[in-house]
Amino acid sequence: LNAYAAICFVYSLLSKQHAGYLMLILTLVFVFVGLNIIALLTYLGVIAPWSGRFYSLWNTEYAKIHIPIISSVSEHQPTNWVAFFFDLHVLVASFPAGLWFCSILYSITAVYFAGVMIRLMLTLTPVVCVLAGITFSSIFKRYLYDEAAERTLMLHGLQRRKASHQDQSRSKDRTMYDKAGKLRKPLQLECAEAREQILSTCPDDDFGTLKTIIIATMLLLLSMFVVHCTWITSNAYSSPSVVLAYYNNDGSRTILDDFREAYFWLRKNTPDQARVMSWWDYGYQIAGMANRTTLVDNNTWNNSHIALVGKAMASTEREAYKIMRALDVDYVLVIFGGMIGYSGDDINKFLWMVRIAEGEHPKDIRLDYRVPAGFDRARNTVIGNKKFNLEHLEEAFTSEHWLVRIYKVKKPRNIYSIPKSDRVFEHRRSKPYNKHSSGSSSTTSPLEGNRIGEMAPLIPLPPALKNSKSNQKTTQQRSEGLLDGRLNRRHSDCSSNRYNTDDWGVVEVNRTVDLVSEKNCERLTLVVENTRFVVESALLRSKPNTMLGRMFGSSRDHNLVKPNEHGEYVVAEGISAGCFRAILDYFKKGVMHCPPNVSVAELREACDYLLVPFTAENVDCVDLRGLLHELSNEGARERFNVFLNKIILPQMVKSARDGERECHIVVLLDDDIVDWDENYPLQIGEDLPLAVYSSQLYRFFKYIENRDVAKQLLKDRGLKKIRLGIEGYPTCKEKVRRRPDGKAEVVYSYVQRPFIHMSWEKEEAKSRHVDFACPIVKSKSNPSLASAFSDLLPSSPPYVPNANNAAGPSSGRPTTYTNPPPPQPSEPYPHHVPPVDD
């Protein structure tokens, strides 16, 4: 309004031509300055630059080439003409008539943007409504105008004008002389001509009929527009996207509630920490309705993550499984519309999955990536009618109409798998044998000619002992069922002591491994993780100190374990078959060969469970880091036991004798000097911790792994509230000065030293101690590093050094300070330094 007033004021001062020049110059100046300001603010980062969505408005191919994720959004697709009529109906044809009444620039810009992106139809709707309203208003104004009343008003006006003119003529006749009627004739002629002109404009009856038809047509169109808007609002724009509906041929309505059904299943049947992988369209729905974590959602700012999910969706199952394991995916949700003909499923979006994945992984994904096979529309099937069997995924849930399908990602196997194409067997006949033969039997081994030292350790063989019916088979049937052939290795000889993935393979359910090499020996069938191992009893009795040796070392009547109804022994629950193979190598050769699919930590736990020694001499593995880590942990346990008994336990006993319920010990180096004395005590209001001098213990606590081992060992010994870390400890005096009140102020030098804090009482209340650490820099304050007691005595006896430290620093450092100085008031210490604790 102020700008309009200013323009009017300028036009009042200048001529029309000069005012037009001035307004043109001012407009160009303002546009130039505004563009430069916007460019400067964008360069400085005050205003965010345009995103890919805005660039795609000016260049429709920009998003498809550079950012395919933008073009994949359904709202960013080009608008077809049906959508214009669908949303605007009759307004499409009526609104152009009012363009000249409104801003042409706004209208054209809105139409262009709405044609580029369907979501920008919202920007076109306001101007269409305004211009269409102007159009209908002009039509109704033209054809609803009452012309008869207008003619009557015009006649009355003409009569009033004639009467007023006659009065003026009479007044002039009184002052002037002239012939009668000389001046009245032109006015009478003028009024008569005007009257005839007004009466001649009277429309006929046909024009009234035309007005009625036009007005009725406009009202009919507006009524249809209201009905259309009501129907569109109730059917298209009011239904949630998670609930679908369609009408049958008989007019009945069917509701498809598969989405909510699947989300409800996810919320009720999956763990709270489960991760669900799906295309980004369903991220918000899964997070909001199923309350589960998703990898990608409708916030499409993370293009690389969406590309990785698209790559997994477009890859084979084996390649996709690697991506899903790297992303820690538990479930995969896909939309399948093939059953009900739903066109918005993941197959419809597969092209965008490939395009988006190609932007981030151009070497792995191409536009022709996994070109699908042809489709026979006549028979409604894929050419070839392929049937797929999932290997790494299993179906967990399928909705009622098969619209939503959820698959569970299988956990990786403990041991690697040998593909069926690589499982080549050499068929040969083996001599019959009796599985339950005694030691004096004369049956031969199924691996004839191969002794324990010659055969490959624990080769997976075809199934033999499946159930109790195997006991009813003949000797020849048992022989053929136990060994149909021997597995040929591709990468190493069977007698090799080193194992790789192909050497071990997978031991499937009900597989049997025969380790019997002697003819006259007692056979034992051990079942470990659904895998049967046939071993010699003498092999287990050779190691009597192990659990297997104790279980099968005694006589059969007093055995510690009893067989099941099939004559088999179920042992080593919780241990994988691969670990058990390596442990059986120890019984045969004295050395455990750790397979690559079994971690050293897993093998170590299995050895601890079966009482098998785990040392560097009897373990052979490729993972030296894992082996040395386990050996370091074992050495740390043994070494800390020595430190605990010789250094730490005496201090704990001393604290217990003093009536304490916990102990705080600081480990100092052997050459650390502490020169506290009675004349210059530490001015702190807390008890000082106990101090021990041991450079070996100091170096032991330097590693976090050693502190973890020590903490676990102390927990195993029954101690509570264990804390191990590093804190500052005051050693020697750095500066001594006198205050104005005569008191001495001492600045001690602090060093960072390890500490151990433990308690042997179970305290339910909250700890009353405050933990903080001192900085490495020298400080003028005197912080305490011990746990503070809130029930300090109001007074304490004067500090008297004991016999151990009575000599003071001159006679050597004390081993332990048992009588701390009395608490003194001190200035506060800045507590903003975080503690260095485990």
Average pLDDT over residues 703-713: 87
- Supply the pLDDT for residue 698: 86
Say if residue 471 is in the same domain as residue 531. yes
Residue 498 lies in a domain: yes
**Residue bearing the bigger pLDDT, 401 or 471:** 401
Question: What range does the domain containing 34 cover?
Answer: 1-49
The answer to whether residues 463 and 548 belong to one domain is yes
Mean pLDDT score of the chain:
71
Q: Tell me which of 31, 49, 67 is where a domain ends.
A: 49
Show which of 577, 597, 622 is a domain's final residue.
622
Same-domain check for residues 565 and 600 = yes
Asked whether 392 and 329 are in contact (CB, 8 A), the reply is no
In this predicted model, which residue has the larger pLDDT, 489 or 209? Answer: 209
Q: Is residue 492 part of a domain?
A: yes
- Same domain, residue pair 770 and 689: yes
* The pLDDT of residue 554: 59
The pTM of this model reads: 0.38
DSSP state of 794: S
56: in domain: no
Are 360 and 430 in the same domain? no
**Share in percent of the chain as helix, strand, coil (round to 5):** 45, 15, 45
Residue 221: inside a domain: no
pLDDT band at 224 (very low <50, low <70, confident <90, very high): very high
- pLDDT, position 583: 85
CATH of the domain at 514: 3.30.710.10
Looking at this protein, which amino acid is placed at residue 285? Q
Answer yes or no: is 744 within a domain.
Answer: yes
Asked if residue 745 and residue 799 are part of one domain, the reply reads yes
Whether residue 792 is found in the same domain as residue 690: yes
Is residue 776 within 8 Å of 746, Cβ to Cβ? no
Confidence of residue 234 (pLDDT cuts 50, 70, 90): confident
pLDDT of 285 > 60? The answer is yes
List the helix and strand counts (H, then E) for the chain. Answer: 27, 22
pLDDT band at 162; cut points 50, 70, 90: low
Same structural domain for residues 695 and 616? no
The tokens for 80 are: 């077809």
Closest CA to 784 of 732, 728, 734: 728
Domain count, the chain: 4
pLDDT for residue 149: 54
**Which residue has better confidence, 128 or 689?**
128
Those residues whose C-beta lies under 8 Å from the C-beta of residue 742, and which sit 6 or more positions away, are none
Least confident of 242-256, 290-304, 499-513, 613-627: 499-513
Task: Look up residue 263 and give its two tokens.
Answer: 């989300």
Whether residue 607 is found in the same domain as residue 659: no
Same domain, 314 and 395: yes
Per DSSP bridges, beta strands 531-536 and 511-514 are parallel
543-577 core/surface letters (b: 16 or more CB in 10 A; e: else)? beebbbbbbbbeeeeeeeeeeeebebbebbeebbb
User: Has residue 181 been placed in a domain?
Assistant: no
Determine whether 787 is exposed, middle or buried from the number of CB atoms within 10 Å of its CB (0-12, 13-18, 19+): buried
Asked if residue 735 belongs to a domain, the reply is yes
Do 453 and 570 belong together in one domain?
Answer: yes
Query: Do 265 and 331 contact (CB within 8 A), yes or no?
Result: no
In b/e form, how buried is each residue of 59-74, taking b as 16+ CB within 10 angstroms? eeebbeeebbbbbbbe
Give the Cα separation of 614 and 634 in Å (integer): 9
As a whole number of angstroms, the distance between CA 539 and CA 549 comes to 9
Residue after which a domain boundary falls, among 567, 596, 622: 622
**Looking at the structure, do residues 393 and 264 belong to the same domain, yes or no?**
yes
| pLDDT on residue 820 | 42
363: CATH: 3.40.50.12610
Phi, psi of 773 (to 5 degrees): -125, 155
Predicted local confidence at residue 259, as pLDDT: 92
Any domain includes 232: no
206-to-75, 144, 149, 211, 347 alpha-carbon distances in Å: 51, 15, 18, 9, 62
CA distance 434 to 437: 5
* Tokens linked to 178: 């002239």
